[in-house]
Structure 1
Amino acid sequence: MTQDGNKNEHVGEFFAKDPERADFEFFGRIANSDRRGFLRNTGLATMAAMVGTAIPFHRNMPVGLVPAAFASEDVLVGKDGLTLLNDRPVNAETPPELLDDAITPTSRHFIRNNGLPPEEADPATWTLTVDGFVDNPMELTIADLRAQFDVVTMALTIECGGNGRAFFDPPASGNQWTYGAVACSEWTGVRLKDVLEKAGVQSNVVYTAHYGADGHLSGDADKLPISRGLPIAKALTDNILIAFEMNGEALHPMNGAPLRLVVPGWPGSCSQKWLRRIELRDQVHDGPKMTGTAYRVPGHPVAAGEDVPKEDFQIIERMPVKSLVTFPANGAAIGMSTEVRGHAWSGDRTIERVDISVDFGSTWVQAELDAPVNSGAWQNWRANVALPVNGYYEIWARATDSAQEMQPFAINWNPKGYLNNTMHRVGVRAS
Structure 2
Amino acid sequence: MIVHNDRPVVMETPLELLRRYRITPKEILYIRSNQVYEICNKLDPMPLKGGIEIIGMVTVPYTLDVSRLKEMPQKEIEMVLQCSGNGRSFFSKRVKTSGTQWVKGGMGNIRFKGVPLKVVLKRAGVSPLASFLTIEGKDSPSIPTASDFEKSVPIKEAMDKAILAIEMNGEPIPAVHGGPVRFVLPGFYGTNQVKWVHRLRVEAHETTNVAQAKRYRVPIDIVEPGEKISFTFKNSRPNWYQRIKSFIWEPMGGEKIGLNKKILVKGAAWNDGKAPITDVEVSTDYGMSWKRAEIDMPTSPYAWYLWQCEVSFNKKGVQEIWVRATDALGRTQPIDGTIYWNAKGYEWFGIDKVSIKVI
SS of equivalent residue, structure 1 residue 119: helix
SS of equivalent residue, structure 2 residue 150: coil
C-alpha distance in 2, partners of 1:109/1:326?
16
> Offset at 1:110?
0.8
Q: Is the 8 A contact 2:213 2:231 kept in 1?
A: no
Of 82, 100, 110, the residue aligned with 2:30 is: 110
C-alpha distance in 2, partners of 1:183/1:281?
31
Of 238, 246, 249, the residue aligned with 1:326 is: 249
SS of equivalent residue, structure 1 residue 261: strand
Q: Which has the higher helix share?
A: 1
Going from structure 1 to structure 2, the CA distance change for 1:334 and 1:153 (only over 3 Å counts) comes to: farther
**1:328-371 Cα deviation digits (max 9, x unpaired):** 22222345222111111122333121101122222211011122
Whether 1:92 aligns to 2:18 is: no
Q: Which has the larger radius of gyration?
A: 1
- 1:183-202 pair list within 5 angstroms: 183-202=108-127
Matching residue of 2:284: 358
Q: Is the 8 A contact 1:126 1:258 kept in 2?
A: no
C-alpha distance in 2, partners of 1:126/1:223?
25
Going from structure 1 to structure 2, the CA distance change for 1:333 and 1:270 (only over 3 Å counts) comes to: same
AA in 2 matched with 1:354 = V
Matching residue of 1:174: 99
- 1:148-163 pair list within 5 angstroms: 148=72, 150-163=73-86
Q: Is the 8 A contact 2:49 2:67 kept in 1?
A: no
- 1:112-151 pair list within 5 angstroms: 112-119=32-39, 122-148=46-72, 150-151=73-74
AA in 1 matched with 2:331 = E
C-alpha distance in 2, partners of 1:145/1:343?
33
Whether 1:371 aligns to 2:297 is: yes
Is there any run of 5+ residues in structure 2 with no aligned partner, and where? none
Matching residue of 2:193: 271
AA in 2 matched with 1:262 = V
C-alpha distance in 1, partners of 2:356/2:66?
48
- 1:11-410 pair list within 5 angstroms: 82-100=1-19, 101-119=21-39, 122-148=46-72, 150-168=73-91, 169-218=94-143, 220=144, 225-238=148-161, 240-292=162-214, 294-311=215-232, 312-335=235-258, 336-349=261-274, 350-410=276-336
Percent pairwise identity: 32
Matching residue of 2:352: 424
Q: How many residues align?
A: 345
Is there any run of 5+ residues in structure 1 with no aligned partner, and where? 1-81
Q: Which has the higher strand share?
A: 2
SS of equivalent residue, structure 1 residue 106: coil
**1:168-205 Cα deviation digits (max 9, x unpaired):** 23211111111111111111111222222232211221
RMSD: 1.9
Q: Under a length normalisation based on structure 2, what TM-score does the superposition of the two structures give?
A: 0.90
Going from structure 1 to structure 2, the CA distance change for 1:234 and 1:276 (only over 3 Å counts) comes to: same
Q: Under a length normalisation based on structure 1, what TM-score does the superposition of the two structures give?
A: 0.75
C-alpha distance in 2, partners of 1:199/1:352?
40
Matching residue of 1:65: none
C-alpha distance in 2, partners of 1:364/1:286?
45
C-alpha distance in 2, partners of 1:122/1:165?
32
> Offset at 1:308?
2.8
Say which structure, 1 or 2, has more relative contact order (CA 8 Å, 6+ apart): 2
> Offset at 1:118?
4.5
